[in-house]
């Protein structure tokens, strides 16, 4: 089955794939990079228009007092400025679309990671982080940071222009560039650790907020919302402190670079004026030098001011790469025929995702077509773990779960899902219509299958009484429905398409007598059509539909066999319990 991965490994693992997923996506930018470089080159050459214009005005127009020359120069400069502006807009639009291209390539992989991470790390990792990482990468690529990088190779052009005006001015400008490079290196060194702290604190704060949202009713009913609020505030303070340090560092160094650039410009103007008085250069060259030097320093200054976004994007690339490289390959196996005969659990051992704690050890059982199994046992015995392993949602450390002899990992997730119906303890429905939820959001749901599933779960009449029937939207998490309604619609979803394997974990925990009768009827229909079902049971009513019983104790199957035989064994161990309450004697909800 699937390999277990620790949360630390997800962040620090070295890529084990032939090529980094994220860098492969970023590599798609290479095809357009030459065109962007040419575009940036033209933009940067045109940026000298202001310098040449001022030189001509001061050195030619003012001396000749020629109005036509001034008009001609002004019109030409205006056209060149408009062309430069058009190219800069075009370059910005190209970068936005390239960023979106990277997003479109990475988002499906990130969303796949979001769906798969909980099965390998449990609650130890922030499962939504991959999506945020993609957003961070896209936001940086579509911002000013890449434009500064594209402009940096053209800094020598402006420097050469200043040297042509006067070597002393060129040396001063070169010194200014070297100083800003030093500030950039210092920025990189100072922001590395705060960036990591910000990411860690942000994750902690988000997880507390999401847990508070999921448990809002509990917090309000039992009045410990203020305690959770204190935990959130502590995490938030840590996050804000790290943000302050990071922002102070970036803004401080950005201000240093800005003040230095303005000081350098003024120094160049003063030095230029002195050289002009000495007759070593013209008056127009003073303004031209100031404009060119400012343009030469601008890419480094912009890069420093956007270093926070760059550092965050770099962290996102590293983190997302680690996650995508760590998850097992989701390749598409050969399509297998639909299972029709047998479910076998062979010496299965399972640990809690992200940990080494074994909660199910050496489980073995076998179900043939038409058989229903009830799994009973005390709380935290491993019942739900067995259900998750059989459904293929938790990774198996050792052993195999097989359908008609083929291990579950011989199917792709989508292919296997057609043959499995799963009802977990914690019911989660999606924001959408009842039809969409029952049909598992099939793009073209089969109305007959939807109706068959709802009738098998005995929810058809209930749905018809809703405001819009099957087109009623249930809201996020199904909050517009009662617990029993959510459980029965989730049961219909599990039954959609008549899957061969049905795995139900505490399916009657929120059901009334009518709902329990519908559950028994649904299990009997699975038996009649030759399917198999594994039901984690706590209440004894489910016994009416089962053939086999497995007792789980301390992570092991202590008894397995025909219902009457196993229940007699349970009764011998629990002599005070009556026959109808034998299940309750050993049962218990499992966390």
Sheet with 532-536, strands from edge to edge, namely 420-423, 501-505, 532-536, 372-376, 548-553, 556-562
Contact 2, 351 (CB under 8 A): no
Classify the phi-psi angles of 191: left when phi > 0, otherwise alpha if psi is within -120 to 50, otherwise beta.
alpha
Exposed, middle or buried, 517 (CB in 10 Å: 0-12/13-18/19+)?
A: middle
In tens, the pLDDT along 396-441 reads 889 999 998 888 888 877 788 888 989 888 887 888 888 988 888 8
Question: How many other β-carbons are positioned within 10 Å of the β-carbon of residue 260?
Answer: 16
Per the model's pLDDT, the better-predicted residue between 576 and 104 turns out to be 104
Cα 405 from Cα 403, distance rounded (Å): 5
**Residue 564 pLDDT grade (very low, low, confident, very high; cuts 50, 70, 90):** confident
Range name among 329-333, 349-353, 477-481 with the lowest pLDDT average: 329-333
pLDDT beyond 60 at 584: no
More confident position, 574 or 449: 449
Q: Which class in CATH covers the domain with range 339-416+501-508+532-538+550-591?
A: alpha beta
pLDDT tier for residue 501 given thresholds of 50, 70 and 90: very high
Biggest distance spanned by C-alpha atoms of the chain: 119
SS (HEC) of 340-397:
CCEEEEEEEEEECCCCCCEEEEEEEEEEECCCEEEEECCCCCCHHHHHHHHHCCCCCC
Q: Output the average pLDDT for the chain.
A: 81
**Residues carrying CATH 3.40.50.300, the chain:** 339-416+501-508+532-538+550-591
Residue 79, pLDDT above cutoff 90:
yes
What burial class does residue 254 get, using C-beta atoms within 10 Å of its C-beta: 0-12 exposed, 13-18 middle, 19+ buried? buried
Does position 330 have pLDDT exceeding 70, yes or no? no
Strand locations in 16-163, DSSP E?
none
Q: Looking at residue 2, what is its pLDDT? A: 38
Q: Which of 502, 517, 49, 587 is closest to 288 using CA atoms?
A: 49
More confident: 258 or 170: 170
Instruction: Convert the pLDDT of each residue in 461-485 to its tens digit.
Output: 888 988 888 898 887 766 678 878 8
For residue 11, the model assigns a pLDDT of 40
Q: How confident is the model at residue 347 (pLDDT cuts 50, 70, 90)?
A: very high
pLDDT digits (tens, 9 = 90+) for 151-187: 888 888 888 888 888 899 889 889 888 888 888 888 8
Query: 308: closest CA among 233, 252, 238, 256?
Result: 252
Residue limits of CATH 1.20.1560.10 in the chain: 20-326
Q: What is the pLDDT of residue 3?
A: 40
Which of these, 310, 324, 306, lies nearest to 23 by C-alpha position? 324
**Which among 356, 424, 420 is positioned nearest to 392, based on CA atoms?**
420
Residue in 298, 201, 293 with CA at minimum distance from that of residue 245: 201
pTM (predicted TM-score): 0.68
CA–CA gap between residue 590 and residue 505 (Å, rounded): 9
- pLDDT for 575 equals 54
Cα–Cα distance for residue pair 245/577, rounded to 1 Å: 65
**pLDDT for residue 442:** 85
Q: Return d(Cα 183, Cα 350) in angstroms, integer.
A: 53
**Rounded alpha-carbon distances, angstroms, from residue 437 to 307, 441, 495, 496, 515:** 45, 6, 12, 10, 19
Phi, psi of 209, deg, nearest 5: -65, -45
The DSSP string of 491-551 is HHHHHTT--SEEEEESTTTT--HHHHHHHHHHHHHHHHTT-EEEEE-SSGGGGGG-SEEEE
* CA-based nearest residue to 516, from 445, 417, 583, 577: 583
How sure is the predictor about 33, in pLDDT bands with cuts at 50, 70 and 90?
A: confident
In terms of pLDDT, which residue wins out, 535 or 252? 535
Can you tell me the distance from the alpha carbon of 251 to that of 244, in angstroms, rounded to the nearest whole number? 10
pLDDT at 491 over 60: yes
20-326 fold = ABC transporter transmembrane region fold (1.20.1560)
Please, what sign has the CA dihedral across residues 76, 81, 82, 86? positive
Q: What is the pLDDT of residue 309?
A: 82
């Amino acid at each position: 089955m699937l390999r277990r991965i620790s949360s630390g490994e997800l962040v620090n693992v070295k890529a084990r794939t032939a090529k980094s997923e994220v860098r492969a996506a970023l590599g798609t930018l290479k095809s357009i990079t030459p065109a962007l470089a040419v575009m940036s080159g033209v933009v940067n050459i045109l940026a000298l228009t202001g310098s040449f214009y001022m030189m001509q005005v001061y050195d030619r127009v003012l001396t000749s007092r020629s109005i036509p020359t001034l008009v001609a120069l002004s019109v030409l400069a205006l056209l060149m400025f408009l062309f430069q502006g058009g190219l800069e807009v075009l370059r910005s639009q190209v970068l936005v679309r390239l960023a979106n291209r990277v997003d479109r390539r990475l988002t499906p992989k990130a969303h796949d990671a979001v769906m798969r991470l909980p099965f390998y790390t449990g609650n130890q990792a922030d499962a939504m982080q991959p999506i945020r990482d993609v957003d961070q990468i896209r936001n940086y690529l579509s911002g000013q940071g890449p434009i500064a990088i594209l402009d940096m190779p053209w800094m020598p052009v402006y420097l050469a222009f200043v040297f042509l005006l006067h070597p002393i001015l060129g040396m001063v400008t070169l010194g200014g560039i070297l100083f800003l490079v030093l500030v950039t290196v210092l920025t990189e060194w100072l922001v590395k650790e705060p960036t990591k702290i910000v990411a860690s604190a942000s994750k902690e704060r988000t997880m507390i907020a999401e847990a508070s949202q999921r448990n809002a009713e509990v917090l309000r009913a039992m009045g410990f919302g203020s305690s959770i609020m204190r935990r959130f505030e502590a995490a938030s303070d840590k996050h804000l402190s790290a943000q302050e340090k990071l922002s102070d560092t970036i803004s401080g160094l950005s201000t240093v670079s800005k003040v230095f650039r303005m000081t350098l410009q003024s120094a160049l103007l003063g030095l230029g004026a002195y050289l002009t008085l000495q007759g070593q250069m013209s008056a127009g060259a003073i303004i031209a030098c100031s404009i060119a030097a400012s343009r030469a320093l601008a890419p480094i200054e912009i890069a420093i001011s956007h270093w926070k976004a760059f550092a965050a994007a770099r962290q996102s690339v590293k983190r997302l790469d680690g996650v995508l490289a760590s998850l097992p390959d989701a390749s598409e196996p050969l399509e297998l025929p639909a299972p029709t005969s047998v479910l076998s659990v062979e010496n299965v051992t399972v640990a809690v995702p992200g940990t080494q704690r074994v909660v199910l050890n050496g489980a073995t059982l076998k179900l043939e077509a038409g058989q229903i199994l009830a799994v009973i046992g005390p709380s935290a015995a491993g019942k739900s773990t067995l259900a998750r392993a059989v459904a293929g949602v938790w990774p198996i450390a050792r052993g195999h779960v097989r359908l008609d002899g083929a291990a579950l990992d011989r199917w792709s997730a989508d292919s296997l899902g057609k043959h499995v119906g799963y009802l977990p303890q914690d019911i989660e429905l999606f924001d959408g219509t009842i039809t969409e939820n029952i049909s598992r959001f099939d793009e073209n749901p089969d109305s007959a299958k939807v109706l068959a599933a709802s009738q098998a779960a005995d929810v058809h009449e209930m749905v018809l009484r809703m405001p819009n029937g099957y087109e009623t939207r249930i809201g996020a998490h199904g909050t517009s429905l009662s617990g029993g309604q959510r459980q029965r619609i989730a049961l219909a979803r599990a039954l959609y398409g008549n899957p061969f394997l049905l795995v139900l974990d505490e399916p009657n925990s929120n059901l009334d007598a009518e709902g329990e009768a519908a559950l028994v009827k649904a299990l009997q229909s699975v038996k009649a059509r030759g399917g198999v079902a594994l039901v984690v049971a706590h209440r004894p009513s489910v016994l009416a539909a089962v053939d086999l019983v497995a007792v789980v104790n301390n992570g092991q199957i202590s008894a397995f066999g025909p219902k009457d035989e196993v229940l007699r064994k349970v009764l011998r161990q629990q002599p005070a319990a009556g026959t109808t309450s034998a299940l309750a004697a050993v049962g218990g909800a499992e966390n």
